[in-house]
Amino acid sequence: MRRIALAIAAMSLLAACGGGGGKTSTKADPAKDKTAAEKINLEQSDFPSGWTSAPHQASPEETASLQQLTQCVGIPDLAGHTSATAQSPDFSMGQATTASSIVTFVKTTSEASNDLAAFQSGKTPDCLKQFVQAIIKQRLPGATPANLEVRQLQFPTLKDGTAAYQASFTVPVAGTNLPVYADFIYFRAGRAELTMATVNPGSPFDSKLEQNLANKMAART
């Protein structure tokens, strides 16, 4: 289950398409944007006691799947308008509950606005289904998630707009089909695009904690 959770945590890479407003500069500056992105990301102090962290280990396969996803939702040039990106560690509680984030700055607010609109489009659920299937197969060769569905997730609007989705599926564990829930929360603050991904087996991730974590990131923009 932990391998599955870490695989889905790769969904936080979605924010690599975009970045800031608020307290950050309105003009793109790669060095300043990188520093700002690192400060906005999830950090250990954001979590209740009992949560631990480890560096995120990205793979070339994840990057390729990310490019396919962003092209699917309607963002043809992922790297072309990026100024800076920073990835949080992978935070976890127990064996399979995880959370992670990524903050990316793009060069203009109009590009960030277009990226958000792409993730708010009706194509996104099907694109995310393809992405989840690809990531699980990469991390767990031979495994196929059953009963995979992606739906829009009711989530408070943060900063300049939010797109939120929940993927649910089942996996065989110890002779039973265990449900797994993966949430993807994407929001924009000026040129900054922030994404948080959470995974929880058995039931959806704690919505109060999820919203609290997102609010803490938003407050640092």
Residue 21 confidence (pLDDT): 38
Report the pLDDT averaged over residues 78-104: 89
86/95: higher pLDDT:
86
Lowest mean pLDDT among 19-23, 108-112, 175-179: 19-23
Collapsed DSSP state (helix, strand, coil) of residue 19: coil
Q: Going from the N-terminus, what domains does the chain have, and what CATH number goes with each?
A: 2-47+60-95+102-219 (3.40.1000)
Collapsed DSSP state (helix, strand, coil) of residue 141: coil
| Strand ranges inside 32-145, DSSP E | 52-54, 82-87, 90-93, 97-106
Lowest mean pLDDT among 125-129, 135-139, 155-159: 135-139
Tokens matching residue 61: 């396969």
The pLDDT confidence band at residue 32, using thresholds 50, 70 and 90, is: very high
Q: Using an 8 Å Cβ cutoff, are 190 and 166 in contact?
A: no
Report the pLDDT averaged over residues 63-74: 83
The pLDDT confidence band at residue 49, using thresholds 50, 70 and 90, is: very high
Residue 18 confidence (pLDDT): 38
The pLDDT confidence band at residue 4, using thresholds 50, 70 and 90, is: low
Which pairs from 156-160 meet CB under 8 Å and 24+ separation? 156/211, 156/214, 157/187, 158/187, 158/189, 158/214, 158/215, 158/218, 159/21, 159/22, 159/187, 159/188, 159/189, 159/190, 159/218, 159/221, 160/21, 160/112, 160/113, 160/116, 160/187, 160/188, 160/189, 160/190
Give 162-205 pLDDT, tens digit per residue: 999 999 998 877 778 889 999 999 999 999 999 999 999 999 99
> Would you say the pTM of this structure is higher than 0.75?
yes
